Structure 1
Amino acid sequence: MAIAISGVSLPSLFHYKNSIIARKSRIRSFSIRSCKDVSGEGDGGGGEPSQKPKRLSEKSSWEAKDSEGKDYLYRLGSEADNMNIAVGARAGVIDDLFAGNFLGRDSDIVFDYRQKVTRSFEHLQGDYYIAPVFMDKVVCHIVKNFIVHLLNIKVPLILGIWGGKGQGKSFQTELIFQAMGVEPVIMSAGELESERAGEPGKLIRERYRTASQVVQNQGKLSCLMINDIDAGIGRFENTQVTVNNQIVAGTLMNLADNPNRVSIGQDWREADITNRIPIILTGNDFSTIYAPLIRDGRMEKFYWQPNREDIVNIVHRMYEKDGISRAQVIDIVNTFPNQALDFYGALRSRTYDTSISKWVDDIGGMEKLGEKLLKRRKNEELPTFTPPEQTMDTLLEAGYSLIKEQQFVMETKLSKEYMKNMDD
């Protein structure tokens, strides 16, 4: 009599168990015979060795060799962080089954992810003025570094552009990149510090190699640009020098001395040659930077102080679309002398305040801002914003307002008010 457990009889369970054991035995026996056949020992000991199994592909990635004849996948696995940014769908490197013909025979399938760190300048719409002296210096530096093999001179890898605050150093450089078709990798001083020692230095090397890949894979000019370098590694009074400050300075010095050999942690390989990439640094005071980094052999320095003609031309091009004549621009510059270029941009921006307040009222007031800006229906359009008409009166009024704020900041020392009773 069979006893049923959950609808299954015991004889059925015994039969199922025996069938599993028999199946495992057949699989084990087949594996042993297969191994003997491959090694030539499966013919009874007296015959010819069996033929090796046919490969799926003539150039399988599992059997690929690197340029030094070593196992390709083993080498990738042994490298630190398993990082290799130069490998994509390359014919002869990965299996043709995965490369395919639709991507091209030498496509870089991961470059779409990496190129997010590069900068394009579609947002720079309009006609802007570029100071000729500034353009000559930047263009000459980039060209010299890309044709250094044709020149019998020592070419510094780094160009340091420094000068007063708000003089358009970064903006003028970006305009030149746009005109030249350069796709740069741009960093800022905020990326030069980390809670982990060595991370900023490694990031600089990674960004440098990414710019090299732009040149190699896209056929575009590229460079590495670090804005406000003195804010990141400058030595000011009563500030602590960190390990990362030292490593960043050392990394830039090493790049200047060895621009074609850049490691991001992997084993050194003779075939791993990086394209020489020019580096551009901007800052306000280069005297605060470690002196060996800014020496002439490593860095070419350019002090940018726009003269009156440059200021008038830049501001006129800025206001030209508003119908402001060159004579009126000269009057504005004369009314507010000794101001940085960003003052005149802020002046124009201040004139929009009244129009923006009116536009907020048109969409229902400040209580409706979140609903109208972020939660509106798919086909619901916001009221059209009408830019203000620029006149000399409105521009001068905005300028005097900015001057008043500047003076108020300089004259009102609230910290003294807060601390005046601390000595009692």
Structure 2
Amino acid sequence: MAAPFVDTAKITVRSGNGGNGVVSFHREKYVANGGPDGGDGGRGGDIVVEINDHLSTLMDFRYKRKYTAGSGADGAGKKCTGRDGEDLVIRVPRGTVIRDAETGEIIQDMSQTDRFVLCRGGRGGWGNQHFATPTRQVPRFAKAGLPGESRDVVLELKLLADVGLVGFPNVGKSTLLSVVSRAQPKIANYHFTTLFPNLGVVYVDEGVSFVMADIPGIIEGAAEGAGLGHDFLRHIDRCRLLIHVVDVSGSEGRDPVADFEAINAELAQYSPELASRRMIVAANKVDIMEDPALLDKLRAHVEGLGLELFELSAAAHQGTRELVQRAAAELAQLPPVAVYEPTYVERPPEVDTSGEVQIEEFDGTWVIDAPWLQRLIANVNFGDYESRNWFDQKLRQSGLFDKLEAMGIKDGDIVSLYDLEFEYQR
């Protein structure tokens, strides 16, 4: 039994926490006053997304939904830095779009970028070696490592194909793909034989080829979820050219023009931009056509819309060569396959600053420790003026400065927040 085709998955990812710095003093025979030598904690591991061209579905994410990178090790004496946490590499098929689960915004399109850091590991905390000064020669404090990032994301596979075959079920799309490429899709004379998209490379001439995708048959109401079309319409989002396959044999008593318009209506409802995509119409099964008037009616309707119509019989290999040559000529004039630009904007985190705060004073240095402060610092870009202002505003709103003043802090004293230090000024 073939493995199911999976093209969407929601997962939770978390990068590793930074290791803690340590308090240590150099102790060696005949060495007096060795001083502080506590090492820093190691950096937490990143969550890295990589393209694997041997993958074609998101099946690996069907059962495993949580991914966590390694945390950094704590520092040690003799100024030894802790080991960095191991990065966790998540491999996805080319064409996977990473979206923020809450907003649906695009974080990254894994089409051309082979490697992307989705979550960065937390920084390691400083050991007490960093806090020695001429007036503070015996620092008895170190800093904890910062936590890693955590987020929920949706992986969405959008096939990278130049040409998409669209049409009702059982109109011959799979047969056409098998004839013009080396793909071997399942072919049978019943609706919904194709349960997932199939890709094939079509070789037209030396140095001329393109990728064609056979999309499962679309039915009326697909844009609202009917049939299989709702699940797989996303796979024609990138297609530069659509080949609309219509059954003109009359064997099922259907009207080709009505079928043609019904599919176009579903495309327009799913995406107006997709409905305006360049299209070629393929009138299939002409070798078993019962009423030539059906073909004439479709031709008049299609040409009235300014589209080209090709007569063919995919099963009999009739007219397929002319169709792929025309498709190749159209592709040569069209822009490359679309790559989606990121739309996700990092928002300031919602951090509850009402939690407990531990404040200790060491020779004019005020060491602050609070779980919420770790989360706050981890999300601040201190190289950005607005981010620093936002950080200062959060500290003031938390009442931290009021607590420090109540404890007797003076101008010029040092405030130590994990791996951040600054002089206090009212």
Scaled by the length of structure 2, what TM-score is found?
A: 0.24
Bigger radius of gyration among the two: 1
Task: Please identify which structure carries the higher strand content.
Answer: 2
Scaled by the length of structure 1, what TM-score is found?
A: 0.24
Task: Please identify which structure carries the higher helix content.
Answer: 1
